[in-house]
Amino acid sequence: MKKKIMIIIVIVLLLCLLGFSLFLFFYNNLERKLKNIGYTNEEVAIILNKVPHESYNEVLNLGYNKSLINILSAKNYLDSNFDLYLNYYMKNKDEDINNIITIMNYNADLINLPASDLLANLVQEKYYINDKVTRYLDYGNSQNVDAKKVIAIVNSNADLGFYNSIYESNLNDNNLILVNKFYALKNDYVPSDLITLSGQYNRAFNNKMRKEAADSFMNMVDAAKLDNIILYNVSAYRDYAYQENLYNIYIKKDGKDEADKYSARPGHSEHQTGLSLDINNISDDFENSDEAVWLQNNAYKYGFILRFPKGKEDITGYKYEPWHYRYVGIEAAKVIYDDDITLEEYYAYYIENTSN
């Protein structure tokens, strides 16, 4: 019995020795071949350390290529993506190696798109959506703007042109329902849970909001009062007919093109959702008031966002309105506030993107 065990042990050792010998032979043979095609000792060491064994023949067939060493030495190089890098490099030999690494690390499905600074910058942006990459590139290559702006414009559909494509607002989105120059409510839509703002909370005829939004607004008004800030509604829920009449008045006053910059077409007004309201003073002068500053710094804590911010006109389609606030709920409001984005951008990434 002991003799049989010893024989088995010897056989195992011999097999291990044979395997090790074959490995050394293959290794030394590969090292020699790499040196013969021009790689230095340092470059050979990098290849043997970073290239997966199953890809050695690809390296040999490639011949000497300094870009290969640059790929292997790149900061974000991943062994598991070597074949992707190599294939993408072969399609984009003149492109920056770091762009090739960045793009392939993000998504192998991008391999058929030309590598570029723009694409590499796009995939690194937080609100990048892969399904929109073609539109990003089309817009980005035609406009002199950075990747962040490209994504903001495309995610908000502003690259399509305002009012050019109209979709029905999804009522199932509840507090996050999107109503803008691309999404519209039907003319008979009326929220089922409207309640009336009264007393210190209101100074207007249009004084209704959906219950959750109204309760949050009243909580915000109470909190502001503790800071000696007085807030109140001056225009909340408006039905379709009211907005239609208002919009037509503005058209007669300033013309359609000008009216579209500050007034929503009927069905496209957030006021019809029962989630929006104008606060205190519908005037540009409101911007620098103590009340406006307080709202900018605190409204998100109660689930409200400044709906049409300054500098975002090309995204929202409306001029800056420091008085117009929209209820979206505390969780969404904090993200929008912290990341300095619009509801359009939030909706595209967190609602539409996750449902696809």
Q: What is the DSSP secondary-structure string of 270-299?
A: GGGGTSEEEES--SGGGGGSHHHHHHHHHG
The β-bridge relationship of strands 194-196 and 208-210 is: antiparallel
Radius of gyration of the chain (CA): 31
User: Which is catalytic among the residues 43, 95, 291, 321?
Assistant: 321
Strands 324-327 and 276-279, how do they pair? antiparallel
Measured between alpha carbons, how far is 298 from 353 in angstroms, rounded to an integer?
28
Q: How far, in Å, CA of 158 to CA of 178, rounded?
A: 14
User: Residues with Cβ < 8 Å from 182, sequence gap 6 or more?
Assistant: 157, 160, 162, 163, 165, 166, 167
Q: Where are the alpha helices (DSSP H) in the chain?
A: 2-36, 41-50, 56-62, 66-73, 82-91, 97-106, 117-123, 133-142, 147-155, 211-226, 240-254, 256-262, 290-298, 313-316, 330-339, 343-346, 353-355
- Among this protein's residues, is 58 annotated catalytic? no
CA distance 139 to 160: 10
The one-letter amino acid code at 230 reads I
Residues 153 and 176: their CA atoms lie apart, in Å, by: 19
Per DSSP, what are the bridge partners of residue 177? none
CB 338 within 8 A of CB 322: no
Which residues are designated catalytic? Answer: 321
